[in-house]
A = this chain, B = another copy of it.
Amino acid sequence: MIKGFKEAAVRCGIKKDGLDLGLIYSEKEATVAALFTKNRVKAAPVIVSKIHLEKTKGRARAIIVNSGNANACTGEEGIRDALSVSEAVAEALGIKKEEVLVASTGIIGKRLELKKIKEAIPDLVKRLSYDGIEEFSKAILTTDKFPKVSSFEGDGFRIVGIAKGAGMIMPDLATMLCFILTDIKAERETLKEVLKKAVDQSFNKITVDGDMSTNDTVFLLANGISEKGISEEFEFGLKKICTELSEMIVDDGEGSTKKVKIIVKGAAKRSDAKEGARSVANSLLVKTALFGEDPNWGRIMAAIGKAVSVVDQNKVDIWIDDIKVVENGKGKGNEDVAKERMKKRSFSLTVDLKKGPYEDWILTCDLSYDYVKINAEYRT
């Protein structure tokens, strides 16, 4: 718990089963830093939250979240629906509607079942509690297998983060919702700055399927109760929480059996390091090889050659954890050892281009039968 914040969750009946409506309430007006999807198709809750934050100049008292329906591609009606949910919450809490932020996750293209949500709001408000984070964390899940919560206790302040995400995961942002609460005191601009820094090194460094959602949202609410300001320790804690949550998302990647850190170093250009790592991380052939525990480094070379502008194929080294499998572009013939290492749930895969000083990384998962199963049958 974070002093001054209450949370709650109920089942309103949008999802087939389980909790599907969550609420965060801040007793004091909180400063908000927010980051949204860069997808040009944006869901209604993203649009409405942006409008509200503009009106309040970055302040809020509550966040209402439903799972099971993304309220995306629902046109003007979708926006009216999201507004209407925020109004109902505001009324029940006795606050202004623009002080209510909204988020949704689930199926795209279906109108929200407003009646179900509105009927559930009185009960939801009644259930608000200082210990509601666990329940709230469950209400925001869709194909996720487990709730994702991470917290940090600093010198006189606390931070807690709650996230959801399992598929449609790709920078920027990963497809996900994330709510971070803290009792520090901060200006909106600086809060956004530190949030962006933390997100760039965490949520923007994971990919499950290379797809980008219409609903991605990170809200950071600071209620100021601790009277502590932004400090190095706060930045450290915030980054730690974002990193832990993003790793949980990859761990929970739809159908995933492996969590793999792809590192590209020795790049001649910054963009080569970034694009090279992303290309390897999103290659279906690499991802299926990870699933098959096959050190098929030829596919890694092909993915690098596709994306990187400066590469000498006779210089490249490739490592699986600490096992060098390719030296100067040629296999070392130790694939048996490498294959053994790939049996682990988590390992790293490093490509050294030996062409310059730049390095970047990204976290990915494998592509399994279950990914296909989950996504071919999601709506059936």
Q: Which residues of A contact B (CB under 8 A)?
A: 39-42, 70, 72-77, 107-110, 167-168, 209-214, 282-285, 288-289, 291-292, 294, 296-299, 301-306, 308-309, 311, 313-314, 326, 328-331, 367-369, 371-373, 375-380
Contact = CB atoms under 8 A, between A and B. Distances in A.
14 contacts: A40-B304, A41-B304, A72-B302, A77-B330, A108-B296, A108-B298, A108-B299, A210-B284, A288-B375, A292-B375, A292-B377, A294-B376, A368-B372, A372-B372
Given A73-B298, A296-B378, A314-B75, A305 B41 contact: yes
Given A109-B301, A292-B377, A301-B73, A211 B306 contact: yes
A289 B109 CA distance: 15
A226 B209 CA distance: 52
B367 A297 contact: no
Contact of A107 (B75, B211, B298, B304): B298
Given A214-B302, A306-B212, A371-B284, A75 B330 contact: yes
A306 B305 CA distance: 24
Contact of A306 (B39, B107, B289, B297): B39
A105 to B, nearest CB: 12
A213 B304 CA distance: 11
Contacts of A297: 73, 108-109
A327 B257 CA distance: 39
Residue among A213, A313, A330 with the highest chain B CB neighbour number at 10 A: A313
A209 B298 contact: no
Contacts of A42: 305, 313
B372 A298 contact: no
Contacts of A110: 331
Contacts of A294: 376, 378-380
B168 A302 contact: yes
Nearest 8 pairs of A and B residues by beta carbon: A108-B298, A41-B305, A292-B376, A288-B375, A39-B305, A109-B298, A40-B305, A212-B306
Contacts of A291: 372, 376
A331 B72 CA distance: 11
A152 B330 CA distance: 42
Nearest to A41: B305
Contacts of A41: 301-302, 304-305, 311, 313
B70 A298 contact: yes
A287 to B, nearest CB: 9
Contacts of A371: 284, 288, 372
A89 B80 CA distance: 73
Nearest to A290: B376
Nearest to A255: B372
A75 B328 contact: yes
A73 B301 CA distance: 8
A73 B77 CA distance: 55
